[in-house]
Structure 1
Amino acid sequence: MIEERSDRFIQPVEVINTLPITTIHELYDLQTQSYTVEKVLLNIDTFPPLLETSCAFAQADDAILMCIEKGSIRGFLQYEVAKDRLIINKLVVHPDYFRTGVASDLLQALIDLKGDKSIQVETAQENTPAMTLYQKHDLTDITPLKVAEGLQLVKLVMT
């Protein structure tokens, strides 16, 4: 347990594929719900994260931070550990818990773990909630990347 606030806590897991299958299914379902809302927010027809299969998700060897409140997973942050950086692959919050601090708690927990590593994330520049969150937590050095699926992607970094 990394951070505790009332009955909400962040649980770190070193490798997703070591979780019980019921937890993996719960995470995958949460991801689908969250990304469905994001797809609408971004006004795009095809959203690549929604194309990931539950099997592929279950086999991931990334690390994960889960935000648990009242016995239920409210969100998770999936990341990979590289030599000199932590790369955020997903930051997912259940739609019922948007704007309740879940994403901020998850991101802060990763910042607390980072040590001397940098943190890197890519997101759509049009994803205002994500951009606001990352910038609030001092991920800057915004680098424009390619346009994919009709979206301008950017890389944000915290050193």
Structure 2
Amino acid sequence: MIDAIQKPNKQQIQAVAAIEAIVQPIDAWSAATLTQLLAQDSYHLLLAAESGVIKGYCLYQVLFEQAEILRIGTHPDYQRQGIASQLFSALHKTLFKNNVTQLMLEVRADNVAAIALYERQGFKTIHRRSGYYQQPNLPAVDALILQLEYG
């Protein structure tokens, strides 16, 4: 079950932050950061939940006819069960209803599984940021900017 949450409660935000810490260990967004973003009208959250258990989430921003996925994640216990595809389906319907014509996201060039998912959703690479992701003692990784056109 996918819920579009206008005003997520503290527990929902904490659950998303906990998943973030697992799936984005290097640069996870905290509950405080998520709360600050979601206080703004342009930021929205989709939650994949069942029996009160949040399995995945999609945080996105809408500015006029454009939208950007800022974060999307599925708890490891529920990966490979179609949660991300369900989130995308709900997101596409929501954006279409709101006359959004373009959806963008950024992904690490070495995240092969995510890139495959995004390509199945119809995203195309429109730009590469060379050496964008940098960590001490590791080689830099490019960022790919992907875009999906509606209509």
Identity of aligned residues (%): 21
Equivalent position SS for 1:78? strand
* Distance in 1 (alpha carbons) for counterparts of 2:126 and 2:119: 9
The Cα of 1:70 is off from its aligned counterpart by 3.1
Q: Which residue in the other structure is 1:77 paired with?
A: 58
The alignment of Structure 1 onto Structure 2 pairs a total of residues equal to 136
Contact 1:146/1:152, CA 8 A, preserved across alignment: yes
Q: Which residue in the other structure is 1:108 paired with?
A: 89
Question: Is residue 153 from structure 1 mapped to residue 143 from structure 2 by the alignment?
Answer: yes
Q: Which residue in the other structure is 2:2 paired with?
A: 10
Q: 1:119 aligns with which of 100, 103, 123?
A: 103
Q: Which residue in the other structure is 2:8 paired with?
A: 19
Q: 2:120 aligns with which of 114, 136, 139?
A: 136
The Cα of 1:97 is off from its aligned counterpart by 1.1
Equivalent position SS for 1:59? helix
Alignment RMSD (CA, Å): 1.5
* Distance in 1 (alpha carbons) for counterparts of 2:33 and 2:52: 26
5+ residue gaps, structure 2, are 135-139
The Cα of 1:129 is off from its aligned counterpart by 1.1
5+ residue gaps, structure 1, are 1-8, 37-46
List per-residue Cα deviations over 1:58-105 (Å, max 9, x = no partner).
221220110012331100000001112110000011011111100111
Q: Which residue in the other structure is 1:88 paired with?
A: 69
Q: Which residue in the other structure is 1:28 paired with?
A: 17
List per-residue Cα deviations over 1:32-83 (Å, max 9, x = no partner).
11223xxxxxxxxxx3x32x33322222122011001233110000000111
The Cα of 1:109 is off from its aligned counterpart by 1.2
Structure 1 ranges of 4+ moved more than 4 A? none
Question: Is residue 64 from structure 1 mapped to residue 48 from structure 2 by the alignment?
Answer: no
AA matched with 1:110: L
TM-score by length of 2: 0.83
- Going from structure 1 to structure 2, the CA distance change for 1:71 and 1:54 (only over 3 Å counts) comes to closer
